[in-house]
């Protein structure tokens, strides 16, 4: 009986153990078969910075270093522009011709070609007999003035003492006035001739401040009065003399605007100051005087081309640009408009061409700043950018 009970106890224990193992197996199975959380997805690559089609990022320094020149476009098509050849010249008060004031020999040259000169400065010194004569007249006049003053003072005392007649005093006063006039004349002559204090030399002085642009003086040479020795020009006082046909001259008025084209593609704005009332006998053209807005890049004697725009052209909806400003990109004609970050390609509709200029019918408006010289470099930048994207 005891054996039977022990057997039953053993079987119950085995059953419990099996149940536990079974439950553990279930738990283990569940643990092994539980869904595993998916690993965190790899962070997606950051999207490429947004790219605006036709945009070229380029700062001012880089554009200048690449030789890209810009121009502010104005209203007016090819028909409204008057093209004229011009030359940079000094204004009437911007150039002085220095001549010998008397016959004499050049004994000293103080300034050479290209040197700076101040107004009133002696550029050269001459020895002249005329200078001695002028100085002698000045000394004689001064001596006669001293005598006339003394005579007048004596006659005045005698007249006040009622010793001499009034006519004697009046004669002394007239002689004094004549002596004073002679002194003024002799002093003016000496000053005009730039005679030195000792009366031996006279100076060739500049009337304006500027640079010596011509020098014909030779040390030791004998020159006659009126001989041109130097020319001095002030580079800040310049104008452009443009030649136009008679028919075009009638369309131009003072105050009209113009654009001066310089070498390298740069431009300078200008204003019409005046026009000659008659035509040149040889060229049959009228001269239009233009006043430039600044002197950068302009030198007297320099040849250039001017684009004059009469006032009646301002109402035109057309625009004229240099041909090199218009580039073809993927079959479209575009210009490059300057922006805060660089340049933006703008599609345009073109019209007539002529004289290196092209007419823009639509696409940009007056006042925009566009790239002229070097626009093909911006076209190449677009090609590089598209290849990278």
Helix segments in the chain, DSSP class H: 2-33, 60-65, 129-160, 166-192, 246-249, 375-388
Say how many C-beta atoms besides its own lie within 10 A of residue 92's C-beta: 8
Which letter, b or e, does each residue of 260-272 get, where b requires 16 or more Cβ atoms within 10 Å of its Cβ? bbeeebebbebeb
Indicate the length of the chain as a whole number: 389
Q: What is the pLDDT of residue 173?
A: 92
The set of residues, in sequence order, having a beta carbon less than 8 Å from that of 316 and lying 6+ positions away, is 75, 76, 77, 80
Average pLDDT of the chain to the nearest whole number: 81
Categorize the per-residue pLDDT at 255 as very low, low, confident or very high, splitting at 50, 70 and 90. very high
Residue 148: alpha-carbon gap to chain centroid: 61
Selection from 252, 291, 219, 220 nearest residue 83 by Cα: 252
Say how many C-beta atoms besides its own lie within 10 A of residue 285's C-beta: 18
Whole-Å CA distances, 37 to 29, 30, 31, 32, 34 = 17, 15, 13, 13, 9
- What's 39-79 look like in SS3? CCCCCCCCCCCCCCCCEEECCHHHHHHCCCCEEECCEECHH
Mean pLDDT of 36-63: 60
Better-scored residue on pLDDT, 274 or 24: 274
Q: What is the pLDDT of residue 337?
A: 93
Q: What is the pLDDT of residue 150?
A: 92
The predicted-structure confidence for 325-352, as pLDDT tens digits, reads as follows 899 888 889 999 999 989 999 999 888 8
Rounded Cα–Cα distance for residues 120 and 204 (Å): 9
Selection from 215, 205, 35, 199 nearest residue 133 by Cα: 199
Judged by average pLDDT, the poorest of 51-65, 184-198, 202-216, 337-351 is 184-198
Rounded Cα–Cα distance for residues 269 and 298 (Å): 12
Say how many C-beta atoms besides its own lie within 10 A of residue 220's C-beta: 8
Categorize the per-residue pLDDT at 388 as very low, low, confident or very high, splitting at 50, 70 and 90. low
Rounded Cα–Cα distance for residues 88 and 96 (Å): 16
Judged by average pLDDT, the poorest of 77-81, 172-176, 241-245 is 77-81
Using the structure block, give the residue that is written with the tokens 């107004």. Answer: 119
The set of residues, in sequence order, having a beta carbon less than 8 Å from that of 318 and lying 6+ positions away, is 75, 76, 77, 78, 80, 351, 359, 360, 361
Mean pLDDT of 227-247: 93
The predicted-structure confidence for 6-47, as pLDDT tens digits, reads as follows 444 544 443 434 333 344 443 333 333 334 343 443 443 333
Domains and CATH numbers, the chain: 55-77+317-388 (2.40.420.20), 79-93+238-313 (2.40.30.170), 97-233 (2.40.50.100)
3-state SS, residue 172: helix
Rounded Cα–Cα distance for residues 373 and 371 (Å): 6
Q: pTM score, two decimals?
A: 0.59
Phi (first) and psi of residue 180, to 5 degrees: -65, -40
Question: DSSP string covering 184-246, please?
Answer: HHHHHHHHHTTB-TTSSEEEEE-SSSEEEEEE---TT-EE-TT-EEEEEE-TTSEEEEEEE-H
Assess contact for 295 and 236: CB atoms under 8 A: yes
**Tokens matching residue 289:** 């005087």
The predicted-structure confidence for 130-180, as pLDDT tens digits, reads as follows 777 787 788 888 899 999 999 999 988 988 888 888 898 899 999 999 999
Mean pLDDT of 377-388: 74
The most confident of the ranges 65-69, 133-137, 269-273 is 269-273
Mean pLDDT of 275-295: 89
């Amino acid at each position: 009986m005891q054996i039977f009970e022990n057997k039953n106890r053993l079987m119950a224990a085995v059953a419990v153990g099996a149940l536990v193992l079974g439950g553990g197996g279930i738990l283990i199975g569940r643990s092994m078969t539980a869904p595993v959380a998916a690993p965190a997805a790899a962070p997606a690559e950051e999207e490429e910075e947004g790219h605006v089609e036709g945009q070229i990022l380029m700062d001012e320094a880089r554009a200048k270093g690449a030789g890209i020149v810009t121009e502010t476009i104005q209203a007016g098509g090819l028909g409204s522009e008057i093209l004229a050849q011009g030359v940079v010249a000094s204004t009437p008060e911007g150039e002085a011709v220095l001549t010998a004031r008397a016959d004499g020999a050049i004994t000293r040259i103080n300034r050479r070609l290209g040197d700076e000169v101040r107004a009133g400065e002696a550029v050269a010194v001459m020895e002249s007999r005329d200078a001695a004569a002028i100085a002698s007249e000045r000394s004689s006049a001064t001596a006669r003035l001293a005598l006339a003053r003394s005579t007048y003072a004596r006659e005045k005392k005698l007249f006040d003492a009622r010793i001499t007649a009034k006519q004697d005093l009046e004669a002394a006063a007239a002689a004094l006035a004549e002596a004073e006039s002679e002194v003024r004349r002799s002093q003016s002559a000496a000053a005009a001739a730039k005679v030195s204090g000792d009366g031996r030399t006279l100076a060739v002085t500049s009337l304006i401040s500027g640079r010596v642009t011509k020098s014909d003086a030779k040390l030791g040479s004998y020159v006659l009065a009126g001989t041109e020795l130097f020319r001095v020009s002030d580079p800040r006082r310049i104008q452009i003399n443009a030649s136009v046909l008679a028919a075009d001259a009638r369309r131009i008025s003072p105050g009209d605007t113009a654009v001066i084209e310089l070498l390298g593609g740069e431009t300078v704005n200008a204003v019409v100051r005046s026009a000659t009332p008659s035509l040149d006998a040889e060229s049959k053209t009228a001269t239009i005087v233009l006043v430039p807005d600044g002197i950068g890049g302009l030198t007297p004697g320099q040849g250039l081309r001017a684009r004059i725009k009469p006032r009646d052209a301002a109402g035109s909806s057309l625009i004229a640009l240099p041909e090199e400003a218009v580039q073809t990109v993927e079959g479209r004609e575009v210009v490059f408009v300057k922006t805060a970050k660089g340049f933006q390609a703008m599609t345009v509709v073109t019209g007539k061409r002529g004289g290196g200029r092209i007419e823009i019918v639509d696409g940009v408006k007056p006042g925009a700043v566009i790239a002229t010289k070097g626009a093909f470099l911006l076209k190449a930048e677009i090609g590089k950018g598209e290849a990278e994207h």
